[in-house]
Amino acid sequence: MDDEVEDDLRALTKHQFESSDEEEAAYSGKLSDLEGDSDEDEDEDDEPLRTGDVQELQFSDSDEDNAKAGEGDEDEDEGSDIDSDDSDGPITAKNIEARSRRLEQRAAEDAELERAEANYAEPTEAFFKLPTAEEREKEKTTGGPDVQEVQMRMAECVKVLNDFRSLAAEGRSRSEYTEQLISDIASYYGYNEFLAEKLFELFSAIEFFEANEVPRPVTIRTNTLRARRRDLAQALINRGVNLEPIGKWTNVGLQVFESSVPIGATPEYLAGHYMLQAASSFLPVIALAPQPNERVLDMASAPGGKTTHMSALMQNTGLIFANDANKARTKSLSANIHRLGCKNVVVCSYDGREFPKVLGGFDRVLLDAPCSGTGVISKDASVKTNKTERDFTLLSHLQKQLILCAIDSVDASSKTGGYIVYSTCSVTVDENESVVDYALRKRPNVKLVDTGLEFGVPGFTKFRGKKFDEKLSLTRRFYPHVHNMDGFYVAKFKIEKRQKKAEPKEEGNDMEGVVLTEEGLTKDGDAPAFDDAEDATYIAGEDYLADVIRR
């Protein structure tokens, strides 16, 4: 009798597990928990019941499908409450479906909890309260909260500004959060509020300020007049220097990670095989691309990294005028020129605004203009606090004068050149796009061309209500938090002859050989000299500007 009952149970169990494909799949998902199972049953069908896969399924379904599935589960669960106590027992045909549903429900709850934790960003009064303007002023006099609280407050302000509609406190405006964030940035990173706000307008992100707290990589430029990069790298490696090429965009740069010897005192350095030089300062020379046997002007050349780079590209041919208004700085300039073996360089010391009166007719001109240094804050932290609105105004005026002088110093009829590159180690629009746009308006015979640089962010064509020439997208910006190099700006111009013929010569007319241009009368179509009266409104604070250009 017992044998018959046992046979009936075995048949019933077999019928339950073979009744449908769905049940077979459900059962096979837990076959490994049963004794005596064959390998044939452990197939791919066991995958859906793993917790991770159930969770993935929940994410891939639509909300509507999940809602319908939930309704069905509720109905089925009502009929399986009797099985709820079997969760810790063995799997049987009776409880396997209920346990599978509970597993899916638990996975869905876990997924929802994880999503809630990941997306939790709503500031509450319990841990974040936006200070009022009066409280901010009081903080400035009392010293304010500790660093951790300021850091937390910056993070919360960023979250709110990213989703202002959902996260902002009632009655508080976007400008209040922005003002608080700028105030905290200035306090946390050590900027004056004027400069913090000016830079925040550009980036609206903390990454730029964070990047300025980290030193830029040490880089060197191979002097191809005396060495090959491969040979130089091997020689320095043998001396205990860990280095590698900077990138595909330059075939002369090396980045130094660590060195067991002073990198500025090796025999190779003293022999002029390389120059310690920031990677960003390679860029304007690459853009200018001076050719052998050309006549080139470097208007602000000290300490000589760009001058010697141009000399190497020109293969020690042609002629380079290396000018710097600060006579004291020409000593280090001359020393580097001699150390690197540059024989085609003449050093001079003129105020850049005296060109082209003293010298002109160049095939190419490089103007790495005096600037605020907002791109090199990681090297000079004093920039954080010593720059005011007046500094940017006067620097912009000086740069506008210098760029016009540089343009007028170029020989527009040069067969190989007729180019000028304008660059700064600043990231502000006042010193970059505004200056370039001004030059395009004042010199209609000038146009922007592609820099030839393989990377970089396009220049602004509009900024905070100001519209610039559309061609400014050809200029390039470089940021420390994006390109891991000093902040830099590069623009390249092509100078063209712009003239129209004078009236036909009458008897006794002495206008022969004179060409009428929009700038005035010039002999034989030469480029017009810089006219001081043209920029009278910008020649303000003359003593201050003269001091700046000599620095």
pLDDT of residue 24: 38
Residue 489's beta-bridge partner residues? 424, 477
Distance in angstroms (rounded) separating the CA atoms of residues 69 and 447: 65
Residue type, 452: G
For domain 217-277, give its CATH number from 3.30.70.1170, 2.160.20.10, 3.40.50.1000, 3.20.20.70: 3.30.70.1170
pLDDT of residue 450: 97
Q: Is-catalytic flag, 157?
A: no
pLDDT of residue 471: 96
Helix (H, G, I), strand (E, B) or coil at 244: strand
CA distances from 441 to 211, 418, 446 (A): 35, 18, 9
H-helix or E-strand spanning residue 150: helix 147-162
Distance in angstroms (rounded) separating the CA atoms of residues 132 and 175: 12
Please give the DSSP secondary-structure letter assigned to residue 416: S
Distance in angstroms (rounded) separating the CA atoms of residues 308 and 272: 11
End-to-end CA separation in angstroms for the chain: 111
Q: Which of 382, 361, 365, 363 is nearest to 373 (CA)?
A: 382
Q: Which of 178, 138, 139 is nearest to 157 (CA)?
A: 178
pLDDT of residue 463: 93
Distance in angstroms (rounded) separating the CA atoms of residues 119 and 117: 6
Q: Are 99 and 26 in contact (CB under 8 A)?
A: no
Distance in angstroms (rounded) separating the CA atoms of residues 442 and 344: 33
Question: Each residue's pLDDT tens digit in the chain (551 positions)?
Answer: 455 545 554 554 444 444 444 333 333 333 334 344 444 444 444 444 333 343 333 333 344 444 444 444 444 444 444 444 444 556 665 666 777 778 778 888 887 777 666 554 444 444 567 888 788 777 777 777 778 888 888 888 888 888 888 888 888 888 889 998 999 999 899 999 999 999 998 887 789 999 999 999 999 999 999 999 999 999 999 999 999 999 999 999 999 999 999 999 999 999 999 999 999 999 999 999 999 999 999 999 999 999 999 999 999 999 999 999 999 999 999 999 999 999 999 999 999 999 999 999 999 999 999 999 999 999 999 999 999 999 999 999 999 999 999 999 999 999 999 999 999 999 999 999 999 999 999 999 999 999 999 999 999 999 988 999 999 999 999 999 999 999 999 999 999 987 654 444 444 444 344 343 434 434 444 444 444 454 555 444 445 455 555 55
pLDDT of residue 516: 36
**Buried-exposed string 423-438: b where 16+ CB fall within 10 A, e elsewhere:** bbbbbbbbbbbbbbbb
DSSP string, 289-318: ---TT-EEEESS-TT-HHHHHHHHHTTT-S
Query: Which of the following is catalytic: 157, 342, 371, 425?
Result: 425
Is 302 marked as a binding-site residue? yes
Is 300 marked as a binding-site residue? yes
pLDDT of residue 370: 96
Distance in angstroms (rounded) separating the CA atoms of residues 526 and 413: 9
The 3-state secondary structure of 355-400, one letter per residue: CCCCCCCECEEEEECCCCCCCCCCCCCCHHHHCCHHHHHHHHHHHH
Q: Which of 209, 178, 250, 219 is nearest to 485 (CA)?
A: 219
Is 301 marked as a binding-site residue? yes
Is 459 marked as a binding-site residue? no
For domain 280-495, give its CATH number from 1.10.3720.10, 3.10.20.30, 3.40.5.10, 3.40.50.150: 3.40.50.150
pLDDT of residue 495: 95
Is 3 marked as a binding-site residue? no
Q: CA geometry: angle at 363 spanning 327 and 375, to 5°?
A: 55
pLDDT of residue 249: 95
Is 546 marked as a binding-site residue? no
Is 535 marked as a binding-site residue? no
Q: Where are the domains of the chain?
A: 133-189, 217-277, 280-495
Q: Residue written as tokens 């060197």? A: 220
Q: Are 87 and 102 in contact (CB under 8 A)?
A: yes
Record the tokens describing residue 298, joined without a space: 């470097």
Is 215 marked as a binding-site residue? no
Record the tokens describing residue 45, joined without a space: 């069908």
The 3-state secondary structure of 462-498, one letter per residue: EECCEECCHHHHHCEEECHHHHCCCCEEEEEEEECCC
